[in-house]
């Protein structure tokens, strides 16, 4: 079974092609900085048994353009890994919001597509891109089975006390207003790798996914007990363009006193806030450059970003009544040593202590960056949402 996996995030599209039950992709790539200056596409593939890389730098204003570029590359005759799109049997799509009804990996039918569309208001930066990704993939891979794997699925184990909001229950029953949680594919994958690494199947973990969107989860013995995003991927941590935790009164104030509409608030909190609102930049690499020049706004933004992570580590340790390891992952979590350092500063009361040299080292693969003898491990675990999606596609289609 040859599986092509598409993972569209809010700022990127990642993809991998897995042939015949293999876990090493035959080709993979990323379209980065979608909608920003210097957007680019990096495509890696095997040529004569060796890894070759193609880098294309051109404006990618939106996810549809990005998907079209990926489609062209896949079947480009000079580098094609497959001779014909018909060689792809399955296309696995990461879908951020599955709502109350799409809670498990599923074959995409017209009804599933309709539900993904109905959830646009609850994942405005993601579900529209996913829908376009499905439509584009249906046109390119006409014979393939399209499968949806949901970010929300892993968080279905949250207990009622964690997933309800303290508002009248009618709002849950009538409108499905509850905590769903996101990045579940990634939290699931990295928690699994961390448990293997620690050789501890009952480990108490705090998984920290820091990409353009950021979220944390309390994961005990492989099950999610709590998570920082809520009804939508807006709540919790400070993110690239999203505010995270905010007093709901801020919205009411802006509506009542400043005449803000729902559309203006959606735009403000999802697209103009977070690191972008604080510094003028959403990509952490740009903010790091500002920080190195002594920029005060960048310093405050870094402080706020890391302080919020620390608060959730404390909260989730309480939720689990203990902590074996914290796990950093995704674009920022895997690459930004300063974020890890700041998030672990003065956390020794929880047994968290970094080894500065190990933390600064750039390395591929899973690694332990905690100080020798520290009670709590600090792990960097590269996420691989695409492989997790491929595994889930295989499990679903084998079972049919
Ligand atoms: N080498 C790096 N150093 C610091 N930050 C990085 C690095 N590489 C990527 N990032 C950051 O990771 C973020 C994107 O992460 P990613 O997980 O790809 O996001 P998403 O899937 O949400 O689109 C960006 O803010 C980017 O700046
Ligand atoms: C859910 C979410 O925010 O995803 P991403 O970080 O990929 O944008
Ligand atoms: Mg992502």
CA 45 to chain centre: 24
- For residue 247, the model assigns a pLDDT of 98
Paired strand residues for 354: 370
- For residue 290, the model assigns a pLDDT of 97
Given the residues 23, 62, 151, 286, the one annotated as active site: 151
Is 80 exceeded by the pLDDT of residue 400?
Answer: no
Ligand 1 pocket residue status of 203, Cβ below 6 Å: no
- For residue 82, the model assigns a pLDDT of 83
Q: List the shell of residues around ion ligand 3, using CB closer than 5 Å.
A: 9, 211
State the alpha helices, DSSP H only, in the chain. 63-74, 110-118, 127-140, 160-163, 170-175, 184-198, 248-258, 262-271, 274-279, 284-292, 296-320, 330-335, 337-343, 356-360, 385-398
Residue 112 has a CB neighbour count (10 Å cut-off) of 19
- For residue 199, the model assigns a pLDDT of 98
Position 371 confidence tier, pLDDT thresholds 50, 70, 90: very high
Distance 214 CA to ligand 2 centre (A): 7
* 285 labelled ligand-binding: yes
Alpha-carbon dihedral sign for residues 285, 288, 293, 295 = positive
The whole-chain average pLDDT of the chain stands at: 95
pLDDT in tens, 208-233: 999 999 999 999 999 999 999 999 99
Higher pLDDT, 68 or 250: 250
Higher pLDDT, 85 or 186: 186
Alpha-carbon dihedral sign for residues 5, 153, 198, 302 = positive
- For residue 47, the model assigns a pLDDT of 79
* 284 labelled ligand-binding: yes
What six digits make up the tokens of 280? 């003028």
Yes or no: say if 343 and 313 are a contact pair by the CB < 8 Å rule. yes
pLDDT in tens, 314-328: 999 999 999 999 999
Ligand 1 pocket residue status of 72, Cβ below 6 Å: no
What six digits make up the tokens of 101? 């009804």
pLDDT in tens, 150-175: 999 999 999 999 999 999 999 999 99
Integer Cα distance of 43 and 55 in angstroms: 6
Cα dist. 19→82, 87, 359 in Å? 10, 9, 35
Cα dist. 291→268, 284, 299, 312, 335 in Å? 24, 10, 6, 24, 16
Yes or no: say if 18 and 102 are a contact pair by the CB < 8 Å rule. no
Mean pLDDT value of segment 66-77 = 84
C-alpha closest to that of 64 among 116, 136, 113? 136
Query: Could you tell which of 183, 331, 364 is best to mutate to test the pocket of ligand 1, judged by most ligand atoms within 8 Å of the CB?
Result: 331
Is 90 exceeded by the pLDDT of residue 236?
Answer: yes
Distance 396 CA to ligand 1 centre (A): 30
Mean pLDDT value of segment 171-183 = 97
Domains recognised in the chain with CATH numbers: 3-150 (3.30.420.40), 199-380 (3.30.420.40)
Residue 226 has a CB neighbour count (10 Å cut-off) of 24
Dihedral of CA atoms 92, 93, 98, 103 in degrees, nearest 10, equals 20
Position 365 confidence tier, pLDDT thresholds 50, 70, 90: very high
Does the active-site annotation cover 235? no
* 69 labelled ligand-binding: no
CA 229 to chain centre: 11
């Amino acid at each position: 079974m040859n599986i092509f996996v598409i993972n569209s995030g809010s700022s990127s599209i990642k993809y991998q092609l897995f042939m015949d039950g293999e876990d090493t992709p035959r080709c993979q790539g990323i379209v980065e900085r979608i909608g920003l200056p210097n957007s680019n596409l990096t495509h890696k593939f095997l040529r004569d048994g060796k890894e070759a890389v193609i880098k294309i730098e051109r404006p990618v204003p939106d996810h549809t353009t990005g998907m079209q570029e990926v489609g062209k590359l896949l079947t480009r005759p000079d580098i094609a890994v497959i001779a014909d799109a018909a060689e792809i049997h399955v296309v696995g799509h990461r879908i951020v919001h599955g709502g109350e009804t799409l809670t498990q990996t599923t074959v995409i039918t017209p009804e599933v597509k309709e539900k993904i569309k109905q959830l646009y208001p609850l994942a405005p930066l993601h579900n529209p891109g996913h829908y376009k990704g499905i439509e584009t993939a249906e046109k390119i891979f006409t014979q393939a089975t399209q499968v949806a794997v949901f970010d929300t699925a892993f968080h279905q184990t949250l207990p009622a006390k964690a997933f309800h909001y303290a508002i009248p229950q009618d709002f849950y029953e009538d409108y499905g207003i509850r905590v769903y949680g996101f990045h579940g594919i990634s939290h699931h994958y990295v928690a699994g790798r961390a448990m293997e690494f620690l050789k501890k199947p009952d480990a108490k973990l705090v998984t920290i996914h820091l990409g353009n969107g950021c979220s944390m989860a309390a994961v005990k013995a492989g099950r999610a007990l709590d998570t920082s995003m809520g009804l939508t991927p807006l709540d919790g941590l400070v993110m690239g363009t999203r505010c995270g935790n905010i007093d709901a009164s801020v919205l009411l104030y802006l509506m009542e006193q400043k005449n803000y509409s729902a559309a203006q608030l959606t735009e403000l909190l999802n697209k103009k806030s977070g690191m972008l609102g604080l510094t003028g930049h959403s990509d952490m690499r740009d903010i790091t450059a500002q920080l190195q020049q002594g920029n005060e706004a960048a310093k405050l933004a870094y402080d706020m970003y890391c302080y919020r992570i620390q608060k959730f580590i404390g909260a989730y340790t309480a939720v689990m009544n203990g902590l074996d390891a914290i796990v950093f992952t995704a674009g920022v979590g895997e690459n930004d040593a300063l974020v890890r350092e700041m998030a672990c500063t003065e956390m020794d009361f929880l047994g968290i202590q970094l080894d500065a040299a190990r933390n600064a080292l750039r390395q591929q693969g899973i690694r332990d960056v905690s100080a020798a003898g520290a009670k709590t491990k600090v792990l960097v675990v590269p996420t691989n949402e695409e492989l997790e999606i491929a595994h889930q596609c295989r499990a679903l289609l084998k079972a049919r």
